[in-house]
């Protein structure tokens, strides 16, 4: 079996996803217990106890989710679709526990100014960051509000990373078409596997000696995928589906056929967009999962266990991992629980 470095994975002849690779422990671990592994990071001026960011989707991150994630040491980005943003702007909520908010390209600078007074981070929430209007808007916001940290997205390749940093972007969301309720790749033919996409951007940042933070956005289905994304070089991981269906997500709990469910939909789905707009997302129901703390604790435990296997005391050490396997389909299936 060949052991691949990140460079080897990046040069592989096919586009790779998280299910295509595995971390390979090749060292005697110094870690006695996973509790010794430190998962904290510094991210855009914030100290997070776990490198997890919630997606600014209307069925994932409302005020309650964003506030709870702050308490849990993660970062929740309040969505821009429902009344949450209006409540923040009207001061009905003081926003002290909301550390990041998403805005649209057409959000007025006066509204951005009100948000800047309350928030540390603004997310310019677009489907395609490789766009002149995104660059212009990024420049406008950073010129007027220089102290704010600006997160933009999404990209699938590192070719435009320099342009984004030059425009003022502090972080970029990497991944197009890989979300579980995203149909962009099907509708447009755009996108590559998340592993290949992430590595391409990571190597572009390294080659051009850039400082922009990289957020792996999409395709993450398990704590193991979180560990893989960090080991590949991501600074943080954005989650949608994994956090969906929890108590803190917007929307009511629905009982159907004796089971509890909550709604989950893509940001470009019919339920979010207007009738005359092109749809690049789907809507579905996910099983109710209880409090989001359970999900976050599970991610933390899985990440710490992965770090203990890989002989990594902290996230910086995990990002330096250079031992990966590429899995055959049978090899991947062999690792799934047989119940």
% helix / strand / coil in the chain, to the nearest 5?
Answer: 35, 20, 45
Query: What is residue 119's predicted lDDT score, i.e. its pLDDT?
Result: 80
> Does domain 6-246+293-328 bear CATH number 3.20.20.70?
yes
Average pLDDT, the chain: 90
| Span 293-316, average pLDDT | 98
Choice among 74-83, 90-99, 265-274, 325-334 with the minimum mean pLDDT:
265-274
Q: Where residue 83 falls among pLDDT bands split at 50, 70, 90? A: confident
- What are all long-range contacts of 133-136, with beta carbons under 8 Å and residues at least 24 apart? 133/105, 134/105, 135/163, 135/164, 135/167, 136/167
For residues 154 and 127, is the Cβ–Cβ distance under 8 A? yes
Start-to-end CA distance of the chain, whole Å, equals 28
| Span 42-63, average pLDDT | 96
Query: What is residue 316's predicted lDDT score, i.e. its pLDDT?
Result: 98
Instruction: Kindly tell me if the per-residue pLDDT of 336 is higher than 70.
Output: yes
**205 or 192: whose pLDDT is higher?**
205
Query: What is residue 88's predicted lDDT score, i.e. its pLDDT?
Result: 78
Instruction: Kindly tell me if the per-residue pLDDT of 186 is higher than 70.
Output: no
270/284 Cα distance (integer angstroms): 11
Instruction: Kindly tell me if the per-residue pLDDT of 280 is higher than 90.
Output: no
3-state secondary structure of 72: coil
**190 or 205: whose pLDDT is higher?**
205
Backbone angles phi, psi at 188, to 5 degrees: -120, -15
Please tell me which residue in 74, 123, 182, 312 is annotated as part of the active site: 182
Tokens 């000696």 locate to 209
Element (H, E) at 225: helix 223-232
Any residues with CB less than 8 A from the CB of 276 and at least 6 apart, and which? none
- Tokens encoding 127: 């489907």
Whether 312 is a known active-site residue: answer no
Query: What is residue 136's predicted lDDT score, i.e. its pLDDT?
Result: 97
239 - beta bridge partners?
54
Render pLDDT for 1-30 as a digit per residue (tens, 0 to 9). 899 999 999 999 999 999 999 999 999 999
Domain ranges for the chain, please list them: 6-246+293-328
For residues 161 and 178, is the Cβ–Cβ distance under 8 A? no
Render pLDDT for 217-267 as a digit per residue (tens, 0 to 9). 999 999 999 999 999 999 999 999 999 999 999 988 998 888 998 988 765
Query: What is residue 87's predicted lDDT score, i.e. its pLDDT?
Result: 77
| Span 121-135, average pLDDT | 94
Query: What is residue 270's predicted lDDT score, i.e. its pLDDT?
Result: 41
Q: Where residue 269 falls among pLDDT bands split at 50, 70, 90? A: very low
Q: Where residue 86 falls among pLDDT bands split at 50, 70, 90? A: confident
Reported residue count of the chain is 339
Q: For the chain, what is the total number of helices (H) and then of strands (E)?
A: 12, 15
For residues 45 and 100, is the Cβ–Cβ distance under 8 A? no
Instruction: Kindly tell me if the per-residue pLDDT of 289 is higher than 80.
Output: yes
Render pLDDT for 199-228 as a digit per residue (tens, 0 to 9). 999 999 999 999 999 999 999 999 999 999
Quote the percentage of the chain above a pLDDT of 90: 73
């Amino acid at each position: 079996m060949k052991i691949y470095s990140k460079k080897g994975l990046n040069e592989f002849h096919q586009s790779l996803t998280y299910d295509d690779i595995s971390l390979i422990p090749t060292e005697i671990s110094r870690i006695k217990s996973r509790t010794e592994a430190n998962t904290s990071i510094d991210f855009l001026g914030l100290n997070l106890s776990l490198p997890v960011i919630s997606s600014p989707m209307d069925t994932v991150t409302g005020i309650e989710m964003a506030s709870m994630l702050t308490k849990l040491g993660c970062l929740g980005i309040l969505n821009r679709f429902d009344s949450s943003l209006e409540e923040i702007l009207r001061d009905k909520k003081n926003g002290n526990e909301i550390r990041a908010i998403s805005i649209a390209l057409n959000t007025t600078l006066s509204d951005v100014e009100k948000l800047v007074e309350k928030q540390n981070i603004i997310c310019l929430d677009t489907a395609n960051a490789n766009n002149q209007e995104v660059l212009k808007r990024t420049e406008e916001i950073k010129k007027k509000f220089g102290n704010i940290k600006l997160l933009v997205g999404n990209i699938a390749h590192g070719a435009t990373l320099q342009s984004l940093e030059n425009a003022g972007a502090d972080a970029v969301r990497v991944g197009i078409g890989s979300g579980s309720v995203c149909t962009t790749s099907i509708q447009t033919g755009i996108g590559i596997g998340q592993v290949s996409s992430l590595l391409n951007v990571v190597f572009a940042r390294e080659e051009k000696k850039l400082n922009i933070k990289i957020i792996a956005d999409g395709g993450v289905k398990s704590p193991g995928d979180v560990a893989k994304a960090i080991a590949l070089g991501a600074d943080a991981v954005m989650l949608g589906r994994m956090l969906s269906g929890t108590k803190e997500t917007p929307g009511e709990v629905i009982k159907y056929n004796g089971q509890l469910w909550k709604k989950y939909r893509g940001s470009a789905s019919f339920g979010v967009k207007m009738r005359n707009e092109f749809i690049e997302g789907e809507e579905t129901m996910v099983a109710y999962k209880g409090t989001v703390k359970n999900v976050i604790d599970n991610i933390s435990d899985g990440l710490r266990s992965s770090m203990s296997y890989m002989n990594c005391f902290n996230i910086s050490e995990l990002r330096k991992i250079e031992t990966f396997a590429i899995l055959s389909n049978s090899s991947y299936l062999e690792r799934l629980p047989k119940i």
